[in-house]
Amino acid sequence: MNFKFWMTIALIPVLIQCTNNNTKVEQKFEPLDSIAFNQTLIDLGEKLFFDPRLSINNTVSCASCHHPDKAFTDGKKRSIGIHQRVGKRNAPSLWNVKNQDLMMWDGGVRSLEHQAIVPLQDTNEMGVSINDLFPKLAEIQYYDSLAKLLYDRSFDPFVLTRALSAFQRNIYQENSEYDEWKNKGVLKDSALHRGYSLFNEKLNCAQCHSGSNFTNNSMQNKGLYVEYEDLGRFNITLDSADIGKFKVPTLRNVGITAPYMHDGSFESLYEVIMHYEKGGKSNPNKSELIQPFVLTNQEREDLLYFLNALTDQRYVN
């Protein structure tokens, strides 16, 4: 598999001991803050992430909707789960997810540990009951042995959620053309510089897409619809002011994570730019930050260049 290409820490080998044809992991406990412990936990989370046995019919894994070669998205408007059921929303990228304080498009989950439970139980995604899942997974000796190695307990929801979250926090990289350009200093009169200036100054996109991860993790109504079928943040707060509000996504790797928006309604970055250029659609909750603007063809090309320059170098041919 090529999914490890972005990882910078070498895997620490797990000691295997075979007895009576049963494979188990040798009991060698590590301090919770040790590098060996952390990497072993990440390794366990990685195996779980790609394991379709986490779904009710052994057909869907976390990676089914979060492909490493697509910056941990799936290229679909809405993901396909068990029995070819269509998910509720577009699969967001997991790139640099460790920097997020709210999970899911509606921000309804506050930690990666809790987030892992949501797709497992969603009937359109993995559709499994937690009560049924863990007897099945605990019978896999590799998982149960590592649970005992790491936490001195049998494989259970605690171990699963910690391992998956550790793996996802390790999906972290800032190695794009933009990063190289920024670290080497500003090169004047280049498409990247012009696009970056437009993004930050003329258009003020950085007010929401800020920081090294290009998101402030806030909830915004982007004027996508006059009336929203998916009510977004309202489903969590029941506050009518939150109807149509969704999390501001990271722009890291945005050039390869189409389609865009919570429902995958835009197929290209050009469509996204044109949406904002028109000021979005009229909606009482639309962010005041979204106002119409005018770009020349050259400015639009420069802005697109900048956005594509946020793609990690390992994805660039």
Flag the least confident range among 71-80, 81-90, 94-103, 185-194.
185-194
Number of C-beta neighbours around residue 282 at 10 A = 9
pLDDT at 1: 41
Of 116, 150, 157, 153, residue with least CA distance to 135: 157
What's the predicted TM-score (pTM) here?
Answer: 0.85
Q: Which of 147, 3, 158 has its CA nearest to residue 70? A: 3
Report pLDDT for 187. Answer: 67
Token code pair at residue 15: 């000691």
As given in the structure block, the two tokens for residue 132 are: 């049924």
Contact 82, 57 (CB under 8 A): yes
**pLDDT at residue 64 tops 60:** yes
Identify whether 259 is preceded by a cis peptide bond (ω within 30 of 0). yes
Q: Can you tell me the distance from the alpha carbon of 239 to that of 233, in angstroms, rounded to the nearest whole number?
A: 8
* Residue range 211-241, pLDDT digits in tens: 999 999 999 999 999 999 999 999 999 999 9
Q: Residue 274's pLDDT band (boundaries 50, 70, 90)?
A: very high
Q: What confidence category does residue 28 fall into, taking pLDDT thresholds of 50, 70 and 90?
A: very low
Return mean pLDDT, the chain. 88
Question: Given its phi and psi angles, is residue 104 left (phi above 0), alpha (psi -120 to 50 degrees) or beta?
Answer: left
Tokens of 203: 């258009």
- Cα 308 to chain centroid distance, Å, stands at 18
DSSP string of 16-43, one letter each residue = EEEETTEEEE------TTSHHHHHHHHH
Scan for tokens 């605690």, then name that residue.
158
DSSP label of 85: P
Residue 163 has pLDDT above 60, yes or no: yes
pLDDT at position 184 is 84
**DSSP string across 209-228:** S-TTTT----EEE-S--SS-
The pLDDT-based confidence of 30 (bands split at 50, 70, 90) is very low
- Quick count: other Cβ atoms within 10 Å of Cβ 131? 7
pLDDT value, residue 316: 85
Quote the strand ranges of the chain, DSSP E: 16-19, 22-25, 219-221, 245-247
Find out whether 252 and 312 touch, Cβ atoms under 8 Å: yes
Find out whether 89 and 105 touch, Cβ atoms under 8 Å.
yes
